[in-house]
Chain A
Amino acid sequence: MNKKLTDGINTTFITLVVLSLLVIFLSPFAFMMVTSLKTREQISVVGAPIWPAAQPKYTYQGKEVDVYTVPLKQCAGFDTNGNATKNLAITKKGRQESTFVDPNDLGRGEFVCQVSWRALDRPWIFSPTWQNYVEVWNTIPNGYWRILGNTTFYAVVTMIGTVISCILVAYGFARFRFPGRDFLFIVLISTIFLPGAVTIIPTYSFWQKLGLVGTWYPLIVPHFFANAYNVFLFRQYFMTLPRELDESAMMDGAGPLKILWSIILPQSYPVIIAVVVFHIVFAWNDYFGPLVYLSTAKQNWPVSVALSFYNGIYGSQPQLIQAGAMMALLLPVILFFVAQRFFVQGIVVTGVEK
């Protein structure tokens, strides 16, 4: 009985701690969500509440005027000792005093209140602008649908390329002995340390000469030639697979490709899924590659680049950027949610086996 109690307390405690950490950690998300529901004007108002709030307006004599909460005792023609406040529409703004009119009592006409209108409370009304999402969907160049398509295309094609090429190369490193193998492996690893700046200009010129800047080729082709991280991953994993199965298959006359296909790969699904998921997340948010090579081809932009469209020098639209970002998050998050079960469990299972 006692154990159950302490267990219960421990569970609640730990869960609460993690939950509060999570809330703090994700609070910018809340801010993001909230910003995506405001209009540009709402963002501009200093002192506005954090939730999407609009100040009510009233149409008086053909003009739209703002409504404030005014303490009536400051106003002409009211009880100077009362504490009542009313929502009044401002018709003339002034420093020391302003003229108001009561939307519910137009008969009274306009009257003056000795208030500083900026210091007045405003009767905010909750006013989320879901229209922002529609606007992003429609105004982003070539349509959001297309942008999502570009991003998916980029992610999937590069994923295929990298998985195929990295598996092949890793297989070569893991299962074959030849002089210089270890040296080449070290060279492979050292490419991780390469600052991008060292290769960018010559590489860009290379693609420029081929006339392929503005197309997907400069971004996709390199992935078909393997990259150090994935190769390292696969190689390490392959090296943990026992060679006996390989050897018996070799005795049976199987060539190296067949061995790869029917022996190695079926045992490797956790690492393959891991690479697939990680790569897709990487490609989904890849910013610089597409920026450099696709800057002149608006129809090919992926999401990460397209969002910058709303960050023009002459008028940034934070609410549209956040709305676009929220929409861009959807797919990778779903993918991750679904896949994490598989590969983390896979890793744990294989770990525990040992």
Chain B
Amino acid sequence: MKKLLYVLSVLVIASMILTACGGGATEAPATEAPATEAPATEAPATEAPATEAPAGEKVQIRWFCCLGTGDAPNQQEVEQAVVDEFNASQDKIELILEVVPYASGRDTLSTQIASGAGPDIVGPVGWGGSNDFYGQWLDMTPYIEETGFDTSIFDPALVKFYQTEEGQVGLPFAVFPGAMYFIPAMFDEAGLNYPPQVYGEKYVMPDGTEADWNWDTITQIAKLLTVDVNGKNATEDGFDRTQIVQVGYTPQWQSILSIGTFYGGADTIYTGTTKGSYESTIPDSWKEGWKWYYDGMWGDQPFIATGPLAGAPEFGNGNLFNAGKSAMGLTQTWYTCCLTDFKAAGLEFQLGIQPLASNGEVAGRIDADTYRILKGSKHPKEAFEALSYLITTGGDKLLPVYGAMPAIAEKTDAFFAQKSTDYPFVTDESWNVFIQGLAYPDTPSSEQYQPNSIKATARFATFADLLNNTEGVDFDAEYQKLVDDLNAIYNE
């Protein structure tokens, strides 16, 4: 009897092991916490663990990707190829690539830094990604002088762009102007004219009248382009919002802050200089924009995919334009990295201009990515040498695969040549929209630094999540909550 009892308890404990540690979606405790999705990496060619230092004179420099783009399989191949080329071209430095998917990039980097084993180079990373590690970046000025790097190949304004109180924390590498991607076939099917492709041009509505290419116009067209399974568009009676097969517009992979910027124009969102004096100053035009966005998803005539719809596998798990589910998508050049399914399905896209904000001016955005060096790097000089290779020679291969326009003016043609091979159906007029877009940066960037940056960004993300996923939100109340919380967070 006793034995039976013990045996029983034995089995129970065994089940504990499994329930506690096993796979399956049970209420399983996580015995190790950090990352969510699996990081992917290219191991160095010798198959040695990435952190073991081989005996020898070569200085090891670790390049950590990705706090931004760069984790797609095709991008990893190119990155590794560039690394191999660099290593073959000299024998003082061994560059090692570590790729971790964007979703777990920040957390993995945090863990590495915390245990004193941070990498040397981090990138490509934009302002948003680097703000999370504000204060960790190396001032490269001494190394620029020491190695004699010639910064005149860049536009001086762009070099200044990376000078902060921390010093010269980056050098220009990649710029990503914005454009309105659209699917001509959907416009044809709806009998609509294509969006304008030259800034300043007006849009011709179906009834022949001309209108500014602003958000009102886009709203009208997008409603006509939002179709349910029976072929009815959002303006028609009997439109079934629970069976939408195509939406008119998607802010493809935009943060709530860039939605605000695109709608209302760039602006600083806080004032104050010291802790205790910070105050949230989100412009009213952004609030309007967010309300417009919310109505676009949950209003009577929706034309933007709601959160659940956008996240469904049918809609590409968030990558709607790629899944061919959105007639228009406003995003940056880097999005050309991620249209492989789109192309494989035989679809075609073109590019239109960014819209005018409510104040009548073009509200464009330019993302800028570059590589940075962590302050804790043990070999900053060698790290800088590797970095300068990446942003010059390496850029030839890297920029196209990041969907980035080069910051070095003379490389622009090569960039577009590469893009044309990837997407032969895109016309020159379309590519030209990007070049025109260089004149419309968002200053300050929608990814501007905020005090207590990480928490503030997280609070915005919670707000966005609420808008995306909840019907019947009391918008004004939630907006006020947001502002109140931000005021508290900024001054923590």
Contact = CB atoms under 8 A, between A and B. Distances in A.
Tell me, yes or no, whether A and B come into direct contact in the complex with CB atoms closer than 8 A: yes
Interface of A: 40-41, 43-47, 64, 93-95, 116-119, 141, 192, 195-197, 200-201, 204-205, 208-209, 211-215, 229-230, 232-234, 236-237, 239-240, 270-271, 274-275, 278-279, 281-282, 284-289, 291-292, 295-299, 301, 304-309, 311-316, 318, 347, 350-351, 353-354
A195 B29 contact: yes
A252 B24 CA distance: 50
Contacts of A316: 313, 316-317, 319
A254 to B, nearest CB: 23
A127 to B, nearest CB: 15
A282 B21 contact: yes
20 contacts: A40-B344, A41-B341, A46-B245, A46-B314, A116-B231, A196-B31, A196-B33, A200-B33, A200-B34, A204-B115, A208-B117, A230-B17, A233-B13, A234-B10, A281-B18, A296-B100, A301-B38, A315-B72, A318-B317, A354-B3
B20 interface: yes
B115 A205 contact: yes
A164 to B, nearest CB: 17
B464 interface: no
Interface string B29-43: 111111101111111
A47 B230 CA distance: 11
A354 B4 contact: yes
B10 A271 contact: yes
B163 to A, nearest CB: 30
Nearest to B71: A312
A37 B82 CA distance: 36
B208 interface: no
Contact of B40 (A211, A309, A351, A353): A309
Contact of A309 (B14, B38, B227): B38
Contacts of A196: 29-33
Contacts of A233: 10, 13-14
B269 interface: no
Contacts of A46: 229, 243-245, 314
Contacts of B188: 93
Contacts of B103: 313
Contacts of B108: 295
Contacts of B324: 44
B16 interface: yes
Contacts of B114: 201, 205
A308 B49 contact: no
Given A197-B33, A292-B32, A296-B98, A47 B229 contact: yes
Nearest to A202: B115
B7 interface: yes
Contact of A213 (B7, B49, B71, B229): B49
A264 to B, nearest CB: 14
Nearest to A307: B38
Contacts of B102: 313
Interface of B: 1-4, 6-11, 13-14, 16-18, 20-24, 29-35, 37-43, 47, 49-53, 71-73, 98, 100-104, 108, 111-112, 114-117, 185, 188-191, 227-233, 243-245, 313-317, 319, 322-325, 337-338, 340-341, 344-346
Contacts of A118: 227-231, 245
Given A229-B17, A278-B17, A305-B38, A47 B231 contact: no
A298 B42 contact: yes
B229 A44 contact: no
CB-based closest 10 A-B pairs: A285-B23, A116-B231, A308-B38, A240-B3, A295-B39, A214-B49, A205-B115, A118-B231, A314-B338, A288-B32
Given A141-B40, A312-B71, A237 B6 contact: yes
Given A93-B189, A229-B17, A233-B10, 15 more contacts: A196-B30, A196-B32, A200-B32, A236-B13, A237-B10, A240-B7, A279-B17, A282-B18, A285-B23, A292-B32, A301-B38, A313-B102, A318-B313, A347-B11, A350-B7
B39 A315 contact: no
Contacts of B98: 296
A232 B13 contact: yes
Contacts of A201: 111, 114-115
Contacts of A275: 14
Contact of A240 (B2, B72, B233, B243): B2
B38 A291 contact: yes
Contacts of B116: 205, 208-209
A196 B35 CA distance: 13
Contacts of A350: 3-4, 7
Contact of B49 (A95, A215, A314, A353): A215
Most buried by B among A45, A192, A213: A213
Given A47-B229, A94-B189, A196-B30, A236 B10 contact: yes
A234 B11 CA distance: 10
Contact of A286 (B2, B4, B21, B39): B21
A299 B43 contact: yes
Contacts of B37: 308, 311
B323 A44 contact: yes
Contacts of B6: 236-237, 239-240
B231 A315 contact: no
A299 B49 CA distance: 10
Contacts of A347: 7, 11
Contact of A43 (B50, B51, B313): B313
B105 to A, nearest CB: 10
Nearest to B2: A240
B22 A285 contact: yes
A10 B115 CA distance: 63
A43 B315 CA distance: 9
B11 A204 contact: no
Contacts of B244: 46
B186 to A, nearest CB: 9
A14 B73 CA distance: 51
Contacts of A351: 3-4, 7-8
A257 to B, nearest CB: 23
A318 to B, nearest CB: 5
A266 to B, nearest CB: 16
